Amino acid sequence: MTIKGVLFDFSGTLFRVEPTEAWLRAVLDDLEVPLGEGESARTAAALERAGALPGGAAPVAVPAHLAELWAVRDQSAELHRAAFTGLAREVPLPDPRLYDALYSRHMAPQAWRPYDDAADVLAELRERGVKVGVVSNIGWDLRPVFRSHGLDPYVDTYVLSYEHGIQKPDPRLFALALEALGTDPRDALMVGDDRRADGGAAGLGCAVHFVDHLPADRRPDALRPVLGLVG
């Protein structure tokens, strides 16, 4: 089999969001909300347990009143915002402005870091003539993140769940990306970190390769094997 197109997940695959404590500190500083170092660390830990940072740790437990919303959070921008600000509101914060500001912060390009090998792998795929799509369960436009970090020239199409009202593992989302690339599923590879969501591509006949969702400094070269799979 010759791979002619590669689909990549976004968060935890090509990019990693900043640590929860840095996320909180950036917003505290921006709004000039005073919070001591110890209290800031405790609050960040509580937000992490709540799963309030999109792209960060999953909630330890989703509150019952948010369970239905959580299940469909990536189907629209409104649902995504409501789900994550809802989780954040489970944690007492010293200023009510922080909840919306935290949500806004996670969409900023500077809140994201590409994995160290992402640019090299995408550039090599482009050099080989392999088409690339990004397929993400998300509630906002991630294209500015790719542009800001210089990776946009390597991506042929973006298929984002909130723009289609469909979220992975629904095979229709992968099918939209493959149609945009003009690639048969049997000639495609899906690369992601979520075995359930990203594994949905296998239902179309795509090969699937998984990487671990780790902090960027702990995963320097997990994407490089993709080049060997492409051949």
- The 10s digit of each residue's pLDDT in 181-198 is 999 999 999 999 999 999
Mean pLDDT in residue range 90-101: 96
3-state secondary structure (DSSP) of residue 159: strand
Long-range CB contacts (< 8 A, 24+ apart) of 146-150?
Answer: 147/109, 148/109, 148/110, 149/15, 149/109, 149/112, 149/113, 149/114, 149/119, 150/119
147: tokens are 């542009």
* pLDDT tens string 72-89: 999 999 999 999 999 999
Q: Residue 224's closest CA among 119, 128, 113? A: 119
Contact by Cβ (8 Å): 172, 151: no
pLDDT digits (tens, 9 = 90+) for 98-139: 999 999 999 999 999 999 999 999 999 999 999 999 999 999
| Residue 134, beta-bridge partner list | 8, 158
**Percentage, residues of the chain above pLDDT 70:** 100
Residues contacting residue 209 through CB under 8 Å, at least 6 positions apart: 189, 190, 191, 225, 226, 229
* Alpha-carbon separation of residue 173 from 37, 49, 62 (angstroms): 43, 30, 25
Pairing of strands 112-114, 15-17: antiparallel
For residue 35, what pLDDT is reported? 86
For helices 20-31 and 37-50, give the axis angle rounded to 10 degrees: 120
For 133-148, what is the mean pLDDT? 98
Q: Where residue 1 falls among pLDDT bands split at 50, 70, 90?
A: low
Q: How far apart are CA 65 and CA 60, in angstroms?
A: 15
Residues 69 and 78: beta-carbon distance below 8 Å: no
DSSP state of 149: T
Please tell me the pTM assigned to this model: 0.95
Residue ranges per structural domain of the chain: 5-16+113-230, 17-111
* Per-residue pLDDT, 2: 87
Q: Token pair of 49, please? A: 């347990």
Give, in order, the Cα–Cα distances in Å from 205 to each of 138, 183, 202: 24, 12, 5
- Report the CATH fold assignment for 5-16+113-230: Rossmann fold (3.40.50)
Distance, in Å, from the CA atom of 180 to the CA atom of 202, rounded to the nearest integer, reads: 18
Residue 77's CB is within 10 A of a number of other CB atoms, namely: 15
